[in-house]
Amino acid sequence: MTRNTQTQGTIKILRHESEILKNNPLGDKYVRDLYVYLPPDYESETNANFPTVYCLTGFTGRGKMFLNDNAFAPNLAERLDKLTGNGTIRPMIVVLPDCFTYYGGSQYINSSATGNYEDYLTQEIVPFVDENFRTIRDKNSRAVMGKSSGGYGALVMAMRHADQFGLACSTAGDAYFEFCYFPGIAEGFRSIKGDPKALVEKFWREDARKSKDDFAALNTIGMSACYSPNPDSPLGFDLPFDLKTGEIRWDVWERWLEHDPVRLVEKTAENLKSLKLLYIDAGTRDEFFLDLGAKILCEKLKQFGVPFIHEEFDDGHMNIGYRQTRSLELISQNFGNEKLREVRI
């Protein structure tokens, strides 16, 4: 944005040393910078505590990317400044965790092939934030939101950690793996050419041109590391296809499906019912068919009596940062309880 100025929040960067990520199998960093947005009022209202939102990035992302500068659209901090400034949302602390890995991401879950990122987020980062900032330490004042794999992470938090996160928003979150991942397996097979390690290394050589198939391959490898880890396999995980012929390994695929939000609803319905907010949206042109995933997920939620809000918008999977506004708005409206309001006065 070239034009507007307004009261600005503050970005704090805290160095956090993780016990859980120490000795992670990929040799990824265990000391990571945690970026946290504090609202404009934070410094002046020294007696106030604030609700908290955890924003999770998509695959190949990490928290600080939310602060990347963009020509015509605000980054997350600028968006928060604006929405807070014009009263659309109440002041809130926004946490931008880094769960990136050598394979492109962690899906915010534990895996012997990547590391225990679900534990890291819930057992280390949440307490760390609560220790370091004047948060409202209550699940109804702690939300999680994200897009794509970040939306998936938000769903996982809502399903398995509803005691910590009482509100969850998933934009184009990975769901119905048959549609969002399966078609990528054949594409990925071609570019993997029998050597998954070489494919990943190509992504770390910045001067190597990457094709559409290469991205499908990285995604398939990354998801395998998250969903079908196998300490006894040379790679540390099983791919859902035969490296030589491409034929699907259905046993491995079944292990993927156990992580599909559509299948997780049944086991986690009670947690989901306890949420103050469950918001699900996706674009009707989503290149990974995550609008269909959202629809099917919502059918399951209905079946199990879980309340939710579902919206669709006319767009694809990319360049939809503006949808953050809708999630933040709903989170802001649904935050809180009596105790919270007292704290604020």
Q: Give the footprint of its own copies on this chain (CB under 8 A).
A: 2-3, 5, 27-29, 60-62, 64-65, 67-74, 100-102, 104, 176, 178-179, 182-183, 185-187, 189-190, 203-204, 206-207, 209-210, 245-248, 284, 289, 292, 295-296, 299, 314-316, 319, 321-322
Nearest approach, Cβ of residue 182 and its own copies (Å): 6
- CB nearer its own copies, residue 133 or residue 182: 182
Pairing of strands 31-38, 309-313: unpaired
Write down the H helix ranges in 9-148: 76-85, 117-119, 126-132
- CB nearer its own copies, residue 248 or residue 340: 248
Nearest approach, Cβ of residue 319 and its own copies (Å): 8
For the four alpha carbons of 236, 251, 56 and 314, in that order, the dihedral sign comes to: positive
Residue among 249, 189, 244, 175 nearest 219 (CA): 189
- CB nearer its own copies, residue 2 or residue 47: 2
- CB nearer its own copies, residue 40 or residue 316: 316
Nearest approach, Cβ of residue 16 and its own copies (Å): 15
**Separation between Cα atoms, residue 150 and residue 62, nearest integer Å:** 10
Nearest approach, Cβ of residue 93 and its own copies (Å): 21
Q: Could you tell me which residues come within 8 angstroms of residue 86 by beta carbon, excluding any fewer than 6 positions away?
A: none
Contact 273, 168 (CB under 8 A): no
Nearest approach, Cβ of residue 72 and its own copies (Å): 5
- CB nearer its own copies, residue 3 or residue 341: 3
Structure tokens at 116: 């225990």
- CB nearer its own copies, residue 28 or residue 118: 28
Place of tokens 């990490």: 62
- CB nearer its own copies, residue 8 or residue 337: 8
Nearest approach, Cβ of residue 343 and its own copies (Å): 34
Contact 18, 120 (CB under 8 A): yes
Helix/strand/coil for 116: strand
Helix/strand/coil for 135: strand
**Separation between Cα atoms, residue 211 and residue 188, nearest integer Å:** 10
Nearest approach, Cβ of residue 292 and its own copies (Å): 4
Place of tokens 């996982």: 156
**Separation between Cα atoms, residue 225 and residue 114, nearest integer Å:** 6
- CB nearer its own copies, residue 139 or residue 300: 300
Residue 212, Cβ neighbours under 10 Å: how many?
Answer: 10
**Separation between Cα atoms, residue 129 and residue 36, nearest integer Å:** 9
Nearest approach, Cβ of residue 118 and its own copies (Å): 18
Nearest approach, Cβ of residue 185 and its own copies (Å): 8
Contact 61, 31 (CB under 8 A): no
- CB nearer its own copies, residue 108 or residue 165: 108
| Interhelix angle 290-303/261-273, nearest 10 degrees | 50
